[in-house]
Amino acid sequence: MTDTREIFDLRLARSAPDLWPMLAQLYGDHPDYPSLRDTLLADMRAAWKARPADLKTLDLQRDLEPDWFQRPDMLGYVFYIDRFAGNLAGVHDKLDYLESLGVTYVHLMPCLKPRPGDSDGGYSVMDYRRINPAYGTMGDLQTLSKALRKRGMSLCIDMVLNHTAKEHAWAKKARAGDAAHRDMYLFFDDDTLPKAYEQTLIEIFPDNAPGSFTHYPDIGKWVWTTFNEHQWDLNWANPRVFVEIARIMLFLANKGVDVLRLDAVAFMWKRMGTRCQSEPEVHMILRALRAVTRICAASVLHLEEAIVGPAEMLTYFGRGEHDGREGNLAYHNNLMVQFWSALATRDTGLMTHVLRTHFPENLTNATYATYIRCHDDIGWAITDEDAGALGFSGAAHRTYLSDFYEGTFEGSFARGALFQENPATGDKRISGTFASLAGLELAQANADPDQIETAVQRILLGNALIASYGGVPLIYMGDEIALTNDYGYLHVPEHSHDSRWIHRPRMDWDRLKRAQSDPDSPEGQVLRGTRHIYARRKATPQLHGAHACRIRDTGNPALFAFQRIAPANTLLCLFNFSQTWQHVPGHWLRDNGVSDFHDALSGGAVDLENDMFAMPPLGRVWLT
């Protein structure tokens, strides 16, 4: 019988081409590389030896079923622990609720120990091996991971790769003058090089953290701080950083983490004269880190967080030599942006063009994380080239969308908040909950039943879209009961400068009770509709993430369509983004694979009149 050491060696041999050649290209000329390579291998063997038996069994199961995360029963739920359930112990009490939604993937928003005070929502981590004490302990996380596995749920947590908090032990030693730890960050004796780099860098938080470097008079140094003064960028050109991060990833994997959401990966490699985003070395690093976990914790997935343009985003699945060897999941930011754009314009032309032109029908060993909103702001990732191809100005359209979703554009149904306007670039991003951006907040303020019904239908349209496009759909906490904006953040000193807290409300359990007791209320309709959509997704095999997604041009700007092409039969998914009835010729439906005119979403038959299919305002169907 094969022992565990032999299994490790077999997995090492399988993934060696993704590990050692990448590290040699990155670090082969570094004097410390040979010894650190040996250290890495020893750490990997130790992590495998320490891996709990039940997790080794899960590794084997997922090796045998590598498509487990692409299946249509996958549904994610994302929340801040304190705002959902108080602490990790409290999450246990809510698992029945998550199970009732059909959730199989639970993302705990940043839960590793952050710096005190402002921590960028938890992304300024001072200890990767400890849980935020306000939430519990690492033992509590391990207990929760076991409880989730018993229910068929996977656990996702955030692992920040670009930076640590300045209070991290490594940073403290660096600040104290320790040379080895200084080389783990990016220190400069004066501002000559920082000024040279900043010629091509893009400010991330221009309002409250301008620039990309911070001067510390007490040590007479400048430090690279892409995001905030308290977040020090790591020096990934140093192989020691790779080894230390790999150790932490394996530590977390052995605590039962199934998905590592790798945060801010685009910024990891620095090169003069560039944006210092998505440089080729970033993909070598991520491919090598993927190999490390595939060897030592084969059941673990990597979700790579890179909110960038289409061509750049696809590189995080691996393009060219890295194809299928890098990230398992990446956010489909463009699907989210195009949803909001089409809602505001009632025109899907740009959506059809972007998703058909820039995105492949299939991905290798990977799939999308699809979403309508997340914990972050919405940046309008619409290029001048794509807008120009359709005959309008990209800059003007981005401005229109910001004004529309802030609620300042005349006739807008949305209520949002401006986030980080950059006068130099004209970039204006938007914060707001799904329900408020979809019009429910304004509709309820107006006490207008028709507006309320329209807002509910927009929310369900979005859910039907992300449920069927392909990938793992993610529900952000509270969207299933149509939570609206929380303006209370303005009265919290550590939040008031950051409008993203407007869409990070506390879970309203009383609202959930009302939704359950009154299914005809707006929140009741959204809850019932959301549960229905994801139950139908689970029962529709064509929605497996490995099946091709082929965008179709309907010839009608109000309608967006794509085919999910499965071996048995094709599913045609059709969405009406307008607030008027639309008619689709029967011959177009038949030409696009519809044969028995059954709607997999409603579970009923579709009727044609005079060979025309009538779609109601904001209607959606999945036709077989």
For the chain, which residues make up each domain, given as ranges? 64-154+239-542, 163-233, 547-623
Q: Which of 187, 184, 88 lies closest to 130, judged by CA?
A: 88
Tell me, what's the pLDDT at 207?
Answer: 66
Given 59, 158, 263, 523, the catalytic residue: 263
566-595: pLDDT as tens digits = 998 999 999 999 999 999 999 999 999 999
315 — alpha (psi -120 to 50), left (phi > 0) or beta? alpha
Over range 546-575, report the average pLDDT: 96
Known active-site residue 591: no
Q: Which of 141-150, 375-384, 442-451 has the lowest mean pLDDT?
A: 375-384
59-111: pLDDT as tens digits = 999 999 999 999 999 999 999 999 999 999 999 999 999 999 999 999 999 99
- CATH node for 163-233: 3.90.400.10
Burial class for 115, CB neighbours closer than 10 Å (0-12, 13-18, 19+): buried
Known active-site residue 189: no
Q: Which fold has domain 547-623?
A: Immunoglobulin-like (2.60.40)
- CATH node for 64-154+239-542: 3.20.20.80
Over range 526-546, report the average pLDDT: 97
3-state helix, strand, coil in the chain (%, to 5): 45, 20, 40
378-431: pLDDT as tens digits = 999 999 999 999 999 999 999 999 999 999 999 999 999 999 887 767 789 999
**Whether the predicted model's global pTM rises above the 0.85 cut:** yes
Residue 149: pLDDT over 80: yes
Residue 173: pLDDT over 50: yes
Q: Which of 171, 157, 166 lies closest to 78, judged by CA?
A: 157
Given 18, 167, 233, 305, the catalytic residue: 305
**How confident is the prediction for the chain on average, in pLDDT?**
95
461-472: pLDDT as tens digits = 999 999 999 899
